[in-house]
Amino acid sequence: MAATIIAPPKIRQTNLLIGGKWTESRSGKRFATVNPVNEQVLAEVAQGDVADVDAAVKAARAAFDSGPWSRMDARDRGRLMNKLADLMEANLEELAGLETLDNGKPLRDARAADLPLAIDCLRYYAGWADKLTGDTIPIRGNYFCYTRREPVGVAGQIIPWNFPILMAAWKWGPALAAGCTIVMKPAEQTPLTCLRMAELAQEAGFPDGVINVVTGYGDTGAAIVRHPGVDKIAFTGHYETAQKIMVDASATLKRLTFELGGKSPNVVFADADLDAAVAGAEFGLFFNQGQCCCAGSRLFVEQSIHKQFVEKVVARAKTRQIGDPFDLNTTQGPQVDADQFHKIMSYIDKGKSEGAHCLTGGSRIGNKGFFIEPTVFDNVSDDMSIARDEIFGPVMSILPFKNVDEIIDRANNTYYGLAAAVWTKDVQKAHRFAASVRAGTVWVNCYDVFDAAAPFGGFKMSGMGRELGAAGLANYTELKTVTMSLG
Ligand code: ADP
């Protein structure tokens, strides 16, 4: 196919947004964000530290405590959110291009998935802004008792690099709808789209201090977590970081929601529509270069179709188009950075040395940029590292299984519990699996179906609380009970 290469957009914003002003960090320090295609520095971004975080929290506190945000009519908050969504739609090409530049994901995916989902999320939550109601409660005695849903306050939001703009929207949407103000820290690998989104929020007319963005590394995130002026932390990333956040947040007992990693079972029964299951297995694992917390990274295939399935899935893996993410034919770009690249390559080595069969891939592509071949391992057993640990890369592990009784225990044999999928035409089997698997999301005959209205989050060490839907909104509220004597 002839290449159709789109030109990358200009990088416009690399400073911190604090109280409505774009500023250098107080220390004057900057850090590099790197293009994963060629390892060249894209931009030097302001590196916020404790002093910048303190200023951002004060701005967010002021916008929350004394207005204008807390005094604004809920309908007007919803209108601003819709306006931001409209501006993101009007600037979709630029935002998608920035995402591709910073993260390395194919532009066609940023255009078709990340941006539309982010915009949809803001619109979904804009609709909630004026629909947060409490209850009237019939209590004993001569009293009128009711509840109010109030915003939790200043939300510290710390996000990862795999879906930068989408994660920002998942965090801003419910926080803004509930009436919270925000101090956000995007990932150090991918700060650019969040900064541009914050510029668009200013253009939409969000009052100063409602949305603050402090870029930096993990210590910047830790400063947000430790700040006594922050009421809640919403974090997406690695469980080990979440463990540190729990410790740091304990001094002030902050509300916490976590969306963490996974090792999700994707189970294909012999009675499944084979081609659909093969396509779902490929998409469920290789999408976004395998950098998805819900990737179907343990692919269980029933013994009787194992040979056929493996042939088909390997053939599909080989058709993936790897290269320049700005080429519209590209379906797989580079991994996000050198650390991730080396981690994935070390898991590929472990897979080989622990005895799994590498059927395709297994190597770096080229010697510049973080490109890895789509890799398929067969004959993986439950105790191998590639079946236990989250790899976060284009590495598929196929584990054969015998029957439904065996598979539920094996699917649950992990400390994670984010997502799971099952492919079968047998309704009973599908329901039995869906009810028995310990995971926050179960897909039946599909994979990676996301909607702003459908809650998402993890059992076990995959998280705490839910994002999206009404459940995601509830996490940004405090419930207040008011009891009034009727004389
Ligand atoms: P990943 O492995 O996906 O990079 P991390 O958990 O390391 O996941 O990073 C996710 C986000 O958490 C990033 O924005 C990162 O800078 C931030 N972060 C890292 N360490 C800390 C910490 N100790 N406290 C708060 N945030 C942190």
Q: Annotated catalytic residue: which of 293, 373, 390, 467?
A: 293
pLDDT at 71: 84
Among this protein's residues, is 94 annotated catalytic?
A: no
H or E element at residue 441: strand 441-444
Q: Which atom of ligand 1 is nearest to the CA of 187?
A: 14
| pLDDT tens figures, 387-398 | 999 999 999 999
For the chain, give percent helix, strand, coil, nearest 5: 40, 20, 40
Known catalytic residue: 293? yes
Cross-strand partners of 23: 16
Distance from the Cα of residue 359 to its chain's centroid:
30
Q: How far is the CA of 484 from the centre of ligand 1 (A)?
A: 45
Closest-CA residue, ligand 1 atom 3, reads: 237
| CB 36, CB 103: distance < 8 Å | yes
Residue 45 contacts residue 31 (beta carbons within 8 Å): yes
143-151 and 136-137: which strand pairing?
Answer: antiparallel
Going from the Cα of 60 to the center of ligand 1, the distance in angstroms, rounded, reads 22
Q: Which of 45, 85, 41, 53 is nearest to 192 (CA)?
A: 45
Q: How far is Cα 392 from Cα 390, in angstroms, rounded to an integer?
A: 6
- What is this structure's pTM? 0.98
Q: Fill in the amino acid letter for 177.
A: A
Instruction: Report the 3 state secondary structure along 224-240.
Output: HHHCCCCCEEEEECCHH
Nearby residues of 372 by Cβ (< 8 Å), 6 or more positions away: 289, 334, 335, 341, 344, 345, 348, 361, 363, 364, 365, 393, 394
Tokens describing residue 445: 């005959």
In this predicted model, what pLDDT tens digit does every residue of 326-361 receive, in sequence order? 999 999 999 999 999 999 999 999 999 999 999 999
Compute the distance between CA of residue 201 and CA of residue 176 in angstroms, rounded to an integer.
12
What integer pLDDT is reported at residue 292 of this predicted model?
98
Residue ranges in the chain whose pLDDT is less than 50: none
Contacts (Cβ under 8 Å, ≥6 apart) of 112: none
Please give the DSSP secondary-structure letter assigned to residue 415.
Answer: S
Query: What separation in Å is there between the alpha carbon of 244 and the centre of ligand 1?
Result: 10
d(CA 179, CA 59): 15
Mutate to test the pocket of ligand 1, among 45, 194, 241 (most ligand atoms within 8 A of CB): 241
53 CB less than 6 Å from ligand 1?
Answer: no
100 contacts 326 by C-beta, under 8 angstroms: yes
pLDDT given for residue 2 in this prediction: 78
Position 67 scores a pLDDT of: 83
**What's residue 1's pLDDT?**
66
